[in-house]
Structure 1
Amino acid sequence: MLKNPKSLLLIGSVLCMANACNKSNVPTTTATTPGAGYQISGQLSNAPAGTKVYLAELGEAQFVSRDTASVDDKGHFTFKGTVPEPSLYQVKLNDQNQALVALDNSTNLELSGDATRLSEGYTVKGSEDSEMLRQLGAVLGKGRASAQALEQRYNAAASAGRADSMQAIEAQYMAAQARNSAAIKKLVRQRPTSVASAFVVNNLINPDEEFAFADSMATLFKKAMPESRYTKALVARLDPMRVTAVGAEAPEINLNSPDGKPVALSSLRGKYVLLDFWASWCGPCRKENPNVVKAYQKFKGKGFEIYSVSLDQNRDKWLKAIKDDNLTWTHVSDLKAWDSAAGKAYGITSIPMSLLLDPQGRIIAKNLRGPALEAKLASVLK
């Protein structure tokens, strides 16, 4: 597997939800204002008369069934109703054939496509938000195909023991992530005040790497649609991350080292510092430690230090892990596990978690792993 733990810009998040539907008895077909409401006029080729088409609303974690229509002998179907607020919906024949659309109570949408390959390509008219979602699907599909091809090549290289090829494929994978991120942000910027954009930023943009962009869009969403569920979800996600956003000054930590003496994070000012949250019981942390050791040995005499905060409770196990993994840098802990004062200050909910600080104590990168950490250190410690 490629070492980057994230899927390619969370490609599966929308498509996986497309396969989970819960039945709901909440009707959407009774208009509360004369003339108000949405209409979807569909035209499907290769759909026998009587073919069922389903309309489902995107809930918090899955699609919820809202309405059903039948295709006539000319491939036509229609949905009419009202929505409680502008939201994303799915027009679906089955798990392999579906389209994501945006509806509000003034939407008059025309959707057409081939019933046997609807997900591969369809057209929409009458809704710029729905057209944006169609373009997004094309970007995600292309990215997913690229990621799958790269993973196959990576696994083949790993089986053959070709380390150089594996590293090159990882670099291509990261470049593909960057291209997809740029394409997604371009679509969002074209629709800066839409619910579709708010959903995309919350679900397809990694705020650890793109906090400034996500936060700037959240500001626009709060002004344009403060009551939208997608705006609220994005704001709730970003607010706790503000303290560890790239560009922020790292909060002070002052905990005891193994010899019982307090060591402040700020005592390492003037150097680039990797602030590393880990624990002896954390398998992924221990697996990553050799990469961190390698980076430390390479750069420790060039203005680089490491400040490790353990979320252990057992002092003996903590000290044994330090010795066993050859971690010869600064270590601190209050031995309170997830109740660690430092962990709470930084909003730590999973480990390993690391932040790279500049000599002034500002966060310049997060969660650099393996070659990515060495590459970043090489670029800042010229």
Structure 2
Amino acid sequence: MKYNMKSFLLIGAVLGMANACNKATTPTTSITGSDSAGYQINGQLTNAPAGSKVYLSELGTTQFIARDTATLDDKGHFSFKGTAPEAGLYQVKLTDANQVLVALDNKSSLELSGDATSLGTNYTVKGSKDSELLQQLSRTMQQSKGEMQKLEQRYTQAASSNRPDSMKVIEKQFFAAQARNAAAVKQLVRQNPNSVVSAFAVGNLLNPDEQFVFADSMATQFKKTLPDSRYTKELTARLDPLRSTALGVVAPEIKLAAPDGKEVALSSLRGKYVLIDFWASWCGPCRQENPNVVKAYNKFKGKGFEIYSVSFDQDRAKWLKAIEKDGLTWTHVSDLKGWESAAGQTYSVKSIPQSVLLDPQGRIIAKNLRGEALDDKLASLLGGKPL
């Protein structure tokens, strides 16, 4: 289950990404200064020995950039003072396991306090609405992450005990928890439409593909209120390639070779509900999901449902062997270019398994339906079963 849930990786974006990025940080010249215009952080940490180092880093496009270093005094006090190129997110860190994110601009004056042994969960920040919003988001994500980790453990136990019915129940609970987390993030963003933290959250704590309508509406707002923010620009850059595959649009054409060498066009299946399934023989989660797809296909293929599988394989023999072994008796195509697949590029596929459901007119009506979710959706469309 954990490998199929792409958004689970996003749950730890506020803290997990920070820890990973730190390993690639390249120190730069400190921007500490005494300018009248600038930010200031006054901090006090408990349970940290005097002389401990505290590091301030700016969140760049792909990593954190070291900006300043402070030293704790015998009362746990420290301070940073400097100028920010623009309003953005910064990391205050003792160690990778003990750090927080704050928002800074050249008018920020923050009071930060916390427990140095569990800083990520035991801290308070005052003096900045943006930093307070960031703390709210962090708490939301931490709570959701904890819930999902427990569900993941239960799922693993059910799988090892061969209890498929329990696995299905837990999977639904996981998706429900995922939906609650996304709703909580969206509510905070709606309440703070003029914050750079909101612009960051939409692009990094939500999946812009699955939340395209919301993300696009917020991007329109950010372009008006935060036109020069890096987070507005990054969000816009992420959304632009997704417009051609957003819900409601006619799916872009795919025309690739089938196993017999003849090209098959996606549009040749018009008139039916079609699942475009991106997968590969070497993809473990894809192979684990295949029995669910086979079940759905066998149940609905006589009612106007078809599957158009696009493989990211490079080895023709392994591709064909997987089709036969998994009993995938529907339309298959591939250009055998792996991640450079032309169809994958067109649909901005960054991970697999991934799927897109089309209506008989070729319009995209759903994405990434897995397990019971696919069966329920098809039943609502073709079998009269309400969602």
TM-score (norm 2): 0.87
2:16 corresponds in structure 1 to: 16
**One-letter code aligned to 1:104:** D
Aligned partners of 1:256, 1:49: CA distance in 2, in Å? 67
Aligned partners of 2:331, 2:367: CA distance in 1, in Å? 19
- How far the C-alpha of 1:240 sits from its partner, in A, is 1.4
2:239 corresponds in structure 1 to: 238
- How far the C-alpha of 1:64 sits from its partner, in A, is 2.4
Query: What is the DSSP-based 3-state SS (H/G/I as helix, E as strand, rest coil) of the residue aligned with 1:208?
Result: coil
1:157 corresponds in structure 2 to: 158
1:252 aligns with 2:247: no
Aligned partners of 2:222, 2:194: CA distance in 1, in Å? 6
* Conserved 8 A contact 2:4-2:285: no
Aligned partners of 1:321, 1:154: CA distance in 2, in Å? 26
1:30 corresponds in structure 2 to: 33
Identity of aligned residues (%): 69
- How far the C-alpha of 1:205 sits from its partner, in A, is 0.4
1:211 corresponds in structure 2 to: 212
* Conserved 8 A contact 2:53-2:72: yes
1:288 corresponds in structure 2 to: 289
Query: What is the DSSP-based 3-state SS (H/G/I as helix, E as strand, rest coil) of the residue aligned with 1:54?
Result: strand
Query: What is the DSSP-based 3-state SS (H/G/I as helix, E as strand, rest coil) of the residue aligned with 2:209?
Result: helix
Query: What is the DSSP-based 3-state SS (H/G/I as helix, E as strand, rest coil) of the residue aligned with 1:100?
Result: strand
- How far the C-alpha of 1:234 sits from its partner, in A, is 1.7
Aligned partners of 1:238, 1:150: CA distance in 2, in Å? 31
Aligned partners of 1:336, 1:223: CA distance in 2, in Å? 41
- How far the C-alpha of 1:81 sits from its partner, in A, is 0.7
Q: Bigger shift: 205-214 or 64-73? A: 64-73
* Conserved 8 A contact 2:7-2:178: no
* Conserved 8 A contact 1:9-1:205: no
Which string of whole-angstrom CA distances, capped at 9 and with x for unpartnered residues, describes residues 87-112 of structure 1? Answer: 11112222332221000001111112
Aligned partners of 1:245, 1:218: CA distance in 2, in Å? 15
- How far the C-alpha of 1:373 sits from its partner, in A, is 1.7
* Conserved 8 A contact 1:2-1:170: no
Task: Show the 5 A alignment for 1:55-70.
Answer: 55-70=56-71
Aligned partners of 1:374, 1:227: CA distance in 2, in Å? 44
Task: Show the 5 A alignment for 1:190-339.
Answer: 190-255=191-256, 257=258, 263-280=264-281, 284-311=285-312, 321-333=322-334
Q: Bigger shift: 196-205 or 7-16? A: 7-16
Query: What is the DSSP-based 3-state SS (H/G/I as helix, E as strand, rest coil) of the residue aligned with 1:118?
Result: coil
**One-letter code aligned to 1:18:** A
Task: Show the 5 A alignment for 1:11-160.
Answer: 11-19=11-19, 20=22, 22-30=25-33, 35-160=36-161
Which string of whole-angstrom CA distances, capped at 9 and with x for unpartnered residues, describes residues 51-103 of structure 1? Answer: 33221111223322211222334433221110111111112222332221000
* Conserved 8 A contact 2:7-2:207: no
- How far the C-alpha of 1:361 sits from its partner, in A, is 1.3
Q: Bigger shift: 205-214 or 260-269? A: 260-269
Distance 1:50 1:368, change over 3 A: same
**One-letter code aligned to 1:10:** L
1:4 aligns with 2:7: no
Distance 1:119 1:3, change over 3 A: closer
Distance 1:282 1:79, change over 3 A: closer
- How far the C-alpha of 1:349 sits from its partner, in A, is 5.0
* Conserved 8 A contact 1:9-1:206: no
Aligned partners of 2:210, 2:102: CA distance in 1, in Å? 28
Query: What is the DSSP-based 3-state SS (H/G/I as helix, E as strand, rest coil) of the residue aligned with 1:64?
Result: strand
Distance 1:153 1:362, change over 3 A: same
Q: CA RMSD in A?
A: 2.7
Aligned partners of 1:90, 1:344: CA distance in 2, in Å? 34
Aligned partners of 1:211, 1:314: CA distance in 2, in Å? 34
Aligned partners of 2:288, 2:73: CA distance in 1, in Å? 58
- How far the C-alpha of 1:377 sits from its partner, in A, is 1.4
Query: What is the DSSP-based 3-state SS (H/G/I as helix, E as strand, rest coil) of the residue aligned with 2:55?
Result: strand
**One-letter code aligned to 2:245:** T
Aligned partners of 1:350, 1:67: CA distance in 2, in Å? 36
- How far the C-alpha of 1:181 sits from its partner, in A, is 0.8
Q: Bigger shift: 177-186 or 227-236? A: 227-236
**One-letter code aligned to 2:210:** E
**One-letter code aligned to 1:215:** D
Please list every run of 5 or more consecutive structure 1 residues that lacks an aligned counterpart in the other structure: none
* Conserved 8 A contact 2:3-2:285: no
Query: What is the DSSP-based 3-state SS (H/G/I as helix, E as strand, rest coil) of the residue aligned with 2:210?
Result: helix
- How far the C-alpha of 1:27 sits from its partner, in A, is 2.2
- How far the C-alpha of 1:255 sits from its partner, in A, is 4.6
Aligned partners of 1:172, 1:209: CA distance in 2, in Å? 18
Aligned partners of 1:278, 1:49: CA distance in 2, in Å? 54
Aligned partners of 1:8, 1:259: CA distance in 2, in Å? 38
Please list every run of 5 or more consecutive structure 2 residues that lacks an aligned counterpart in the other structure: none
**One-letter code aligned to 2:52:** T
* Conserved 8 A contact 2:276-2:310: yes
